[in-house]
Amino acid sequence: MDIVRYSDKCVVNQVNSSKSIEAEVFNFNEARNLTVVLNKSVKLNMSWNGRMYEGRVAGIDFITDGPSIQRTRTGR
């Protein structure tokens, strides 16, 4: 049996200005979608494009690799 844990934070990059923001992970479905909260006030929905998560809010594009994933195998 595997135990999978996800970090509660991830780094989100602004595409045009290449600024990085640490965001809180609100909801995460691996290789599907990711919802983060920026600056404790802006909710950003992101979709998996096959390589990374991308999303747009207020006309600004954001990308991220998502939260760090820790897999632990238990059992015999």
Buried-state track 47-56, b at ≥16 Cβ within 10 A, e below 16: eeeeeebebe
Give the pLDDT score at 71: 92
What is residue 38's three-state secondary structure?
strand
What pLDDT, on the 0 to 100 scale, is given for residue 1?
Answer: 81
pLDDT tens digit string along 12-50?
Answer: 999 999 899 999 999 999 999 999 999 999 999 999 999
State residue 61's pLDDT score: 96
Residue 75 vs residues 4, 6, 22, 37, 69: alpha-carbon distances, Å = 14, 21, 35, 36, 20
pLDDT interval class at 53 (50, 70, 90): very high
